[in-house]
């Protein structure tokens, strides 16, 4: 933005000047002059904060000591910086004074005074700012053959405060609108700004050149190795001739990365249309390593510890097919240390199998587990189709087959089950590992038929939802700043489940609902909530109700605390009521890593029952929900 008075309030070059002054300061630090800084309050907390954050006198005081000459130079640089900040905030007649040892920084006698000062006590530096009157916008004008939508995006109005951020944001909004309308080569001049000190106004003029409206042309792909180019084009989903749109290109780029085979991708439009009047695109990519090995573990005082490992091939046949082999060994320190459970899985996922966003998935698994509720040996196989309908909505449906031998309360039964699982998922959260805002909802419906052996046909339904609300700025006093976002999160969870079509005791024990433990109601042992067998072991039920409330607070760079309240109930005759809830509460410690938080939770049951320890401990990776 050009300001004709010469005072200017552009921000470009400030940081380069800071870096140069920091280097110069080090050169003069042979005989440093200690000093302390005081900012005389202006009465505007936001302005005082901006001054303090931008000041080299404050920021480099301890990190880069300087001698007298460099101290004066640093003070003069701060004065120029403060003037730019004040102009940017709409104050065009400010007064800025920096006094060192009681003298103005431009006093010719100051350097001699500083050279004679003793090192102790530190020289006092006082920053005194009078912002002056707030200027307002006078004439605001957008010139050029722009559409009505783009003109509506130009939100500046005469009389608004003459703040740089608002002026620049209005121009950027116009340019963004033009680009989204397909004017791929649109340009917008820097704002021409004229200050009228007598009227205390700032006149603004923008000039827009939309250029032609263009469609997309050919996409040139650079950087592929094993991944096939036709798979890249299908995943991008861009059609030659469709209108140019930056948001559409960014969505296509993110969809391409979501396939998992690429480490990064950069999609760049050309600066000129091709012979057909379309805008070519250049896609630069880098593939991820083909194979990945992951190791993990968890511990809880109710079921002991577990170790997990998985191996993934990210691009098996050249079209981002993923093969994952996994294994888990559990109950390492449970009540039955002589019995070791395991889980092995194999998953093959074929993306965009017949059309974009339609995936074919094959699953195989084998399980052996020894729980308080039952012992089970099982094998299962499934084939399913996954479909993404939008950024938030997706669905899955398929066919499953389970063979199992389950022992509960001393009775062993064999089961052969055929199921038709279907599910719908909604996810608007901002982070899959540690969400700070948004909603997650999963609804499952699984009709199941007993082919032979024990059991009868039934239909299992379950709905689980969680919400995440960022309270960082809502509960923070003082000026809001974006670096507080995600520091205080309120998370809630609700789960409902029901099995219909048969009595609860004819449903295979491993298909019934259970509650209690680190994944449901902390404070109670795993599967301990609900009906019991004749021998006092968990029996499971056909109705489920669970809810949770958790407040997460981060502090420092990597640490956090959580306070939580969990509740759950299991019924053998339909959905349980709220009066039958078992409630647990506790505190947790979090250490945040790039792969998610490491979680340590300590919980206790609100209602003590015989045989239940008063404290339960849970250790794992990732939030509880």
**CATH number of residue 198's parent domain:** 3.10.20.310
Which helix (H) or strand (E) segment is 150 a member of? Answer: helix 148-153
- Coil vs helix vs strand at 165: helix
Are 265 and 337 found together in one domain?
A: no
Are 182 and 69 found together in one domain?
A: no
Report d(CA 84, CA 88) in Å as an integer: 6
What is the count of structural domains for the chain? Answer: 4
Q: Parallel, antiparallel, or unpaired: how do β-strands 35-39 and 95-100 relate?
A: unpaired
pLDDT value for 246 = 96
Are 53 and 154 found together in one domain?
A: no
CA atoms within 13 A on the CB side of 117: 23
What is the CATH number for 437? 2.40.160.50
pLDDT value for 251 = 93
- Is residue 120 within 8 A of residue 34, CB to CB? The reply is yes
pLDDT value for 585 = 95
Are 357 and 486 found together in one domain?
A: yes
Are 545 and 596 found together in one domain?
A: yes
Ranges of residues in the chain with a pLDDT under 70 are 1-30, 119, 331-338, 474-486
Are 270 and 344 found together in one domain?
A: no
Are 421 and 448 found together in one domain?
A: yes
Are 275 and 338 found together in one domain?
A: no
Are 516 and 570 found together in one domain?
A: yes
pLDDT value for 116 = 79
Are 456 and 490 found together in one domain?
A: yes
- Is residue 621 within 8 A of residue 595, CB to CB? The reply is yes
Which of 130, 163, 181 is at the close of a domain?
Answer: 130
pLDDT value for 8 = 37
pLDDT value for 612 = 82
Report d(CA 273, CA 214) in Å as an integer: 8
- Is residue 385 within 8 A of residue 359, CB to CB? The reply is yes
- For the record, the structure tokens of 198 come out as 């007598």
Which of 185, 176, 146 is closest to 271 using CA atoms?
185
Report d(CA 189, CA 184) in Å as an integer: 16
Which of 193, 209, 225 is at the close of a domain?
Answer: 209
Which of 94, 115, 130 is at the close of a domain?
Answer: 130
Q: Which domain holds residue 201?
A: 136-209
- Coil vs helix vs strand at 202: strand
- Coil vs helix vs strand at 335: coil
pTM given for the model: 0.73
Are 355 and 405 found together in one domain?
A: yes
Q: Read off the DSSP letter of residue 515.
A: B
Are 94 and 162 found together in one domain?
A: no
pLDDT value for 79 = 93
pLDDT value for 485 = 63
- For the record, the structure tokens of 385 come out as 């189709």
Which of 314, 266, 272, 309 is closest to 290 using CA atoms?
314
């Amino acid at each position: 933005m050009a300001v004709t008075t010469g005072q200017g309030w552009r921000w470009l070059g400030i940081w380069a000047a800071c870096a140069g002054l920091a280097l110069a300061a080090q050169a003069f630090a042979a005989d440093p002059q200690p000093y302390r800084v005081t900012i005389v309050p202006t009465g505007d907390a936001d302005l005082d904060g901006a001054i303090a954050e931008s000041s080299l006198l404050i920021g480099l005081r301890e990190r880069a000591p300087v001698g007298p000459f460099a101290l004066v130079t640093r003070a003069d640089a701060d004065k120029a910086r403060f003037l730019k900040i004040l102009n940017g905030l709409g104050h065009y007649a400010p007064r800025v004074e920096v006094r060192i040892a009681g003298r103005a920084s431009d006093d010719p006698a100051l350097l001699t005074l500083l050279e004679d000062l003793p090192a102790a006590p530190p020289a006092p530096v006082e920053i005194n700012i009078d912002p002056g009157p707030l200027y307002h916008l006078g004439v605001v004008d957008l010139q050029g053959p722009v559409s009505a939508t783009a003109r509506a995006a130009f939100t500046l109005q005469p009389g608004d405060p003459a703040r740089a951020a608002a002026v620049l944001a209005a121009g950027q909004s116009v340019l963004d609108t033009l680009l989204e309308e397909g004017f791929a080569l649109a340009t917008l001049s820097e704002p021409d700004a004229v200050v009228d000190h007598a009227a205390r106004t700032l006149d603004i003029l923008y000039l827009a050149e939309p250029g032609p409206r263009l469609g997309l042309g050919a996409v040139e792909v650079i950087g592929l190795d094993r991944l096939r180019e036709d798979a890249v084009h299908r995943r991008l989903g861009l059609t030659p001739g469709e209108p140019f749109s930056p948001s559409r290109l960014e969505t296509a780029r993110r969809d391409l990365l979501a396939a998992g085979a690429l480490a990064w991708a950069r999609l760049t439009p050309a600066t000129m249309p091709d012979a057909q009047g379309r805008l070519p695109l250049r896609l630069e990519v880098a593939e991820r390593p083909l194979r990945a090995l992951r190791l993990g573990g968890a511990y809880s005082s109710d079921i002991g510890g577990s170790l997990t490992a998985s191996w993934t091939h990210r691009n098996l046949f050249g079209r981002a097919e993923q093969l994952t082999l996994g294994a888990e060994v559990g109950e390492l320190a449970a009540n039955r240390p002589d019995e070791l459970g395991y889980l092995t899985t194999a998953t093959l996922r074929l993306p965009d199998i017949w059309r974009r966003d339609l995936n074919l998935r094959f699953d195989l698994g084998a399980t052996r587990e020894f729980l308080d509720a039952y012992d089970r040996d099982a094998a299962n196989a499934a084939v399913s189709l996954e479909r993404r309908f939008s950024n938030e909505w997706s669905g899955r449906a398929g066919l499953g087959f389970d063979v199992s031998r389950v022992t509960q309360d001393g009775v062993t039964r064999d089961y052969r089950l055929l199921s038709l699982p279907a599910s719908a998922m909604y996810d608007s959260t901002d982070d899959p590992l540690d969400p700070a805002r948004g909603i997650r909802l999963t609804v499952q419906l699984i009709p199941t038929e007993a082919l032979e052996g024990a059991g009868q046909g039934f239909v299992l339904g379950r709905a689980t939802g969680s919400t995440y609300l960022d309270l960082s700025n809502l509960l923070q006093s003082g000026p809001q700043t974006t670096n507080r976002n995600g520091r205080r999160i309120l998370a809630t969870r609700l789960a409902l489940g029901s099995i219909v079509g048969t009595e609860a005791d004819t449903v295979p024990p491993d298909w019934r609902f259970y509650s209690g433990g680190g994944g449901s109601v902390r404070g109670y042992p795993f599967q301990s909530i609900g009906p019991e067998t004749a021998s006092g072991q968990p029996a499971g039920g056909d109705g489920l109700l669970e809810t949770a409330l958790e407040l997460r607070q981060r502090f420092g760079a990597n640490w956090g605390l959580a306070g939580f309240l969990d509740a759950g109930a299991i019924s053998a005759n339909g959905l349980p009521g709220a009066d039958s809830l078992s409630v647990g509460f506790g505190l947790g410690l979090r250490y945040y890593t790039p792969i998610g938080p490491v979680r340590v939770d300590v919980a206790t049951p609100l209602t003590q029952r015989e045989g239940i320890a008063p404290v339960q401990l849970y250790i794992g990776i990732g939030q509880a929900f």
